[in-house]
Structure 1
Amino acid sequence: MALAHLHRIDPEANMARFYCIDVATTLFGDVSVFRTWGRIGTQGRTSIETLPTLEDAENAASRALRPKVRRGYLPAGQIRQ
């Protein structure tokens, strides 16, 4: 389950992007932050960052989400009015 799934859609600029971030425990007890991004309708690209604790992973996820929200990404399904 994704921690956050965001969309940024601007038809005038032909922009339809997504950004998904998830935090999950590895088999070795570490915690990984999975980031997936790209154009809506594609598989996108994925980045994985492994950290020693859940707190570190959650902080890294929060730091990654802040700029996306500032740039206009909204939760998937939320319509801008």
Structure 2
Amino acid sequence: MLTLLCHRVTDDAAATPMHFYRVDVTYNLFGEYTVMRAWGQVGSRGRYANAWFGNLRDAIVVADQSYRRATGRGYRLTEKVFASAA
């Protein structure tokens, strides 16, 4: 449903991002909303954490908090995808 992908930005404009932070909000088969967070070095699998919620509002609040925490640590939004259910 919603994907936010951030990369750590360095002062050197020619440097490639070395770290990523990704937040996904999805709907699962059990009628819950899942907030999936992944972070680590670019090119690696990284680390993951999942949280489940009974309603979309709570899931979006946690995803927004995670995004704000990442931007406070030097990450910048590089991709935002919103997919509606067809």
Report the TM-score, using the length of structure 2 for normalisation. Answer: 0.76
**Cα deviation, residue 76, structure 1:** 2.7
Which of 32, 35, 39 is the aligned partner of 1:33?
Answer: 35
- For residue 30 of structure 1, what is the amino acid of its counterpart? E
State the distance in 2 between where 1:2 and 1:54 align. 11
Q: Are 1:21 and 1:36, in contact at CA under 8 Å, matched by a contact in 2?
A: yes
2:67 corresponds in structure 1 to 65
Matched residues, percent identical? 33
Moved over 6 A (4+): none
Matches within 5 A, 1:1-81: 3-10=3-10, 16-76=18-78
TM-score, normalised on structure 1? Answer: 0.80
Aligned length: 75
Counterpart amino acid of residue 25 in structure 2: V
CA offset digits 1:36-70 (Å, max 9, x no partner): 10001101111110011011100000011112112
Which structure has the highest helix share of the two? 1
Q: 2:22 touches 2:38 (CA, 8 Å); kept in 1?
A: yes
Q: How far apart are residue 11 of structure 1 and its match?
A: 7.9
Alignment check: 8 A CA contact 2:34 2:52 kept: yes
* Structure 1: gaps (5+ residues): none
CA distance, structure 1, for counterparts of residue 21 and residue 2 of structure 2 = 10
